[in-house]
Amino acid sequence: MSTLNNPFEYEAANNLPASKIATYFIDDFNYSRFIDSTRNVVIVGDRGSGKTMALMYNSLAVQKHASEELPRRLGIYVPCKTVLMKKKEQELLKDPDYASILSENFLTMSVLYHLVDDLSVIANLTEGCDVEQLKQEVAYSLGLELPPTPEFLTALKQAIQKEAREVQLVLNAPSLESDFPATRSFGTSVLPLLDTLRCIPKLRNAHFMFMLDDVHDLNDDQLRVVNSWIAYRDHSLFSIKIASARADQLHFKTPSGGSILEGHDFIQIDLEQPYHNEESNFGQLASKLITKRLKEAEIECSPEEFFPVSPTLEKELEEYREIVRKRAQEMYPEGPAKKINDYIYRFARAEWFRQRADHSNLPAYSGFQTLVYLSTGVIRNLLEPCYWMYDDAKSQSGSVSRIDPQIQRNRIIDRSKRIWERLEQLDRFIEGCSRSDAKRIHNLFDQLAVLFRKRLDEHESEPRAISFTISAMSEEDESDLMPLLEIARAAQLLYIRSGPAKERGKRESYYVPNRMLWPVRGLDPHGQHARVSIQAEHLRNATDGIAIPMDAKNSKKLKPKGQREFFDDE
């Protein structure tokens, strides 16, 4: 019998026990194989995209839980969102160079601590070693005074904690001109310790993977230091894996004025998935993830069976697919089949939305694929509505074998309403967002919804496009508009993706609003693989509540024929 209260819990990975990380993690379709290697890796992805889970799954603590056999590559998980990493006292020093050295010291001490802490999961690590001799070697090479504690790692951890405390006491002194203890760096502390650890039989052939999470929380000096570690050419002993919420929060400069290069010094993995259909990497990852969680809850069915589409919705959509198919066959009697299928893809769902009466209820949003699209390519966005749907179903019946489409619809509409409510109050949630900013951002998304609805009703080529690019951006537009978009991005109301531009060989950034915004506005969250080009001036006007114009040449006002009322209830 399953002991899970809710198989779709979406707690942050670093708050989950090792057993659940080992159980829940899906190592396909997210490039985790690159992490478990001797390569240096940079991982980029929005909050909730699975960066921390990918790193922690490869950590020694989780790998030891999954298998008693010691892995060849030992993952040392180093969180950067910690009190030690966020210390600012060194910035009060008059000498900026020494402040930089102290920043590196805090970073190095954190790496040392987590190295020793993670190795403690290895049972009988020092078996076959002369522990006293090992202590003497560490004390000599690192200049640490180890306490008489018999256990090697315990003594080493205590010595590291004692030194960190001594540095803090000096920083807390009334005068920052006091003499500081000797500061540490990767080269003077971590590397000598790794060499000593390799004298232990169980670690003789070990490769240490230092996995730094949330490096966007490091200061500039610390990020330069990490880059210098990545620049280290010999990967036989260690490699560096770093994860950041956003690529534009990183730089690749080193303290010496040099730089590291993608492909030469590291490989970059982008967890921001632009496409969400069932054939995409994210679609397959989502299916495997939900399948595994259902299995852990002893629910034997596929995600599609567990989250079924409303029968009424499915029936109506199929009717419109046939209507549009016949139209396409009349338009393209010679084919080819791909052209007909493309036409059906673009217009079948759009036609159904167009023929619905304006006064009818919101659609019966339901089905696993709809949940995948609503996630906007972020794992946490997928799990959150599933969690609440499961909770609703369990409160109604006690046991859950499937989620009724009406429960799905109600919870999706509820989450959509909540995200709009949050949008109205961004000044309460996001640092640096004023009340005026919040109002302008709300106006912008409101006008985007109006534009996308108009396109859905009238556009002749790309009616279901729900992402956009920005054109004709002046410096004035950029200084006014970009801070607002950055706030929306920080609130995870807006995502930036990269894709091919219309100019051959080029790529461009485009903007994808969180698709959970659209159900309460009656839009189709499935969207299509198309982007709307909007002039920056029109977006700025939208922040004041002015409608965004649609390209007239692609607009054709359709008069509803035989409009039908659509009822949500089964």
Of 95-104, 191-200, 504-513, minimum mean pLDDT range: 95-104
Environment class of 285 (CB within 10 Å of its CB; exposed 0-12, middle 13-18, buried 19+): buried
Alpha helices in 297-401 (DSSP H): 303-306, 311-331, 337-355, 368-374, 379-397
Sign of CA dihedral 486, 492, 494, 496: positive
pLDDT band at 566 (very low <50, low <70, confident <90, very high): very low
Q: What is the pLDDT of residue 562?
A: 42
Average model confidence (pLDDT) for the chain? 87
- Name every residue whose Cβ is closer than 8 Å to that of residue 499 and which is 6 or more positions away in sequence: 274, 507, 508, 510, 531
Q: Torsions phi, psi of 508, nearest 5?
A: -140, 155
Q: What is the pLDDT of residue 40?
A: 96
Q: What gap in Å lies between CA 307 and CA 22, rounded to an integer?
A: 25
The single-letter DSSP state of residue 186 is: I
Q: What is the pLDDT of residue 563?
A: 42
- Which range of 1-10, 495-504, 555-564 scores highest in mean pLDDT? It is 495-504
Cross-strand pairs, 41: 241, 267
pLDDT band at 165 (very low <50, low <70, confident <90, very high): confident
Q: Pick from 430, 425, 424, 441: which is nearest to 540 by CA?
A: 441
Of 23-32, 416-425, 426-435, minimum mean pLDDT range: 23-32
Angle value at C-alpha 282, between 281 and 284, nearest 5 degrees? 65
Q: What gap in Å lies between CA 432 and CA 84, rounded to an integer?
A: 25
Mean pLDDT of 348-359: 80
Q: What is the pLDDT of residue 248?
A: 77
pLDDT band at 180 (very low <50, low <70, confident <90, very high): low
Of 2-16, 168-182, 508-522, 528-542, minimum mean pLDDT range: 168-182
Q: What is the pLDDT of residue 283?
A: 87
537 pLDDT more than 50: yes
pLDDT in tens, 256-291: 899 999 999 999 988 876 655 667 788 888 999 999
Q: What is the pLDDT of residue 555?
A: 52
Environment class of 11 (CB within 10 Å of its CB; exposed 0-12, middle 13-18, buried 19+): exposed
Task: Identify whether the C-beta of residue 372 lies closer than 8 Å to the C-beta of residue 283.
Answer: yes
Q: What gap in Å lies between CA 529 and CA 324, rounded to an integer?
A: 19
* Chain-centre distance for alpha carbon 309: 27
Distances (CA, A) of 247 to 45, 259, 535: 8, 16, 25
Q: How many CA atoms lie within 13 A of 508 on its CB side?
A: 17
Q: What gap in Å lies between CA 10 and CA 48, rounded to an integer?
A: 9
pLDDT in tens, 437-466: 999 999 999 999 999 999 998 888 888 899
pLDDT in tens, 99-127: 788 888 889 999 999 999 999 999 999 99
Q: What gap in Å lies between CA 180 and CA 171, rounded to an integer?
A: 8
86 pLDDT more than 60: no
- Name every residue whose Cβ is closer than 8 Å to that of residue 227 and which is 6 or more positions away in sequence: 251, 252, 253, 254, 259, 260
Residue with token string 């217009």: 347
